[in-house]
Amino acid sequence: MKVAVVGATGMVGDVMLKVLRETSFPVTELIPVASEASVGKTIDFGGLVCKVVGLQSALEMVPDIAIFSAGGQTSLDWAPKFANEGTVVIDNSSAWRMHPEHKLIVPEINGSTITSADKIIANPNCSTIQLVLALKPLHEKYKVKRVIVSTYQSITGSGVKAMNQMENERNSLEGEMAYPYKIDKNCIPHCDVFEDNGYTKEEMKLTNETKKILDPNINVSATAVRVPVMGGHSEALNIEFENDFELSEVRSLLHNQPGLTLKDDPTTNTYPMPLYAAGKNDVFVGRIRRDESQSNTLNMWVVADNLRKGAATNAVQIAELVAKLKC
C-alpha cells in the first residue's frame, strides 16, 4: 500500500506518521509531502529513510491513499487531482466536511458506509470526534434531543506558533503571538474566527458536523474556549434525551462503546484529564451524573488527545477501512 502523508513535517503530520508506525497498517511505500521549503529533507519512518517531496511529485507517484493535513486551501486545490488519479484522499481540514457528496467519518460510528466509490473522505473536527463518539451509544438508546457543550481546548489545536507563544510567556520571553491575548494563566473564549451569528467557526463545526455524522435532528449549542494546556481537549456536556435513563445503564453503554474508556469513580477521584489522555488513542468519559434541574438530562465530561483521536488516529483508522476495501 503506497501512502502519501501531505503535511508530513507539521505537528499533525508527525503524529500521523507515529500512528502509522504503531499500527499494522500495510505501508509498502511512504511518500512524505510538504511545502517547497521542506522538499529534499528526509524523514525516518521506522528505520526507512524517506525523502520529502512536493505535491506535484507525489501526484505523479499515484499513491493508493493520501492523508492530507496541510490546510483547507491545499485540500481544495489538490484533493480532486489525487482523486482523479484513483488515489483515496482522507482530508483532515474543514474543506470537504460539509460537502454533501463527501462522507464525514468516525470509523466507530459510520465507517461501514465507506465504499470503493469514495475518493475524498473527510476527517471531522477534533472536538467533534470526541463529542459524537461519546454521544453515539446514548443516542441509539435514549435519543438525544439537545446538547450544550463547553470545550476546554489545548493550544496544540492552534499549532506550533501557539505552543511557542505559551512557552515564551512562561519564560518571560518576547515572541510571535498566535492569539490576540496572552494564553498562559488565561482562558480565551475564541477558537477560530467569529461568524455573523456571534459564534466562532469552531463552535459551528460542533453543531453542523454532529448533525451530519449522527442525526440532523440533534440540536447543539457550543462555547469553545482555548486553555493553557499542552495536549488534549476537554468537553463538558449537558445532554437532553427524549427518553429517561438509568445511570448504571449509561455507564454500561459507554463502557461497551469501542473507542471509549470509562473513567468515572468520584470516590477515588477517577475522572478524565488531558494529563491522562495525552498520547492515547481512546476518548475518555467520566463525571457522569443526572442533571437535577431538568428531566431526562445528563451531565458528563469527555477528554481526548486532539492530535491523536482528534486528528491522526481517526484518519489512520479511516485509511485502514479503505485498505480493506482495496484488498
The catalytically annotated residue of 50, 139, 191, 233 is 233
Q: Is 50 a catalytic residue?
A: no
The catalytically annotated residue of 50, 102, 126, 139 is 126
SS (H, E, C) the chain: CEEEEECCCCHHHHHHHHHHHHCCCCCCEEEEECCCCCCCCEEEECCEEEECECHHHHHHCCCCEEEECCCHHHHHHHHHHHHHCCCEEEECCCCCCCCCCCCECCHHHHHHHCCCCCCEEECCCHHHHHHHHHHHHHHHHHCEEEEEEEEEECHHHHCHHHHHHHHHHHCCCCCCCCCCCCCCCCCECCCCCECCCCCEHHHHHHHHHHHHHCCCCCEEEEEEEECCCCCCEEEEEEEEECCCCCHHHHHHHHHCCCCEEECCEHHHCECCCHHHHCCCCCEEEEEEEECCCCCCEEEEEEEECCCHHHHHHHHHHHHHHHHHHHC
Q: Is 126 a catalytic residue?
A: yes
Active site residue ranges: 126, 233
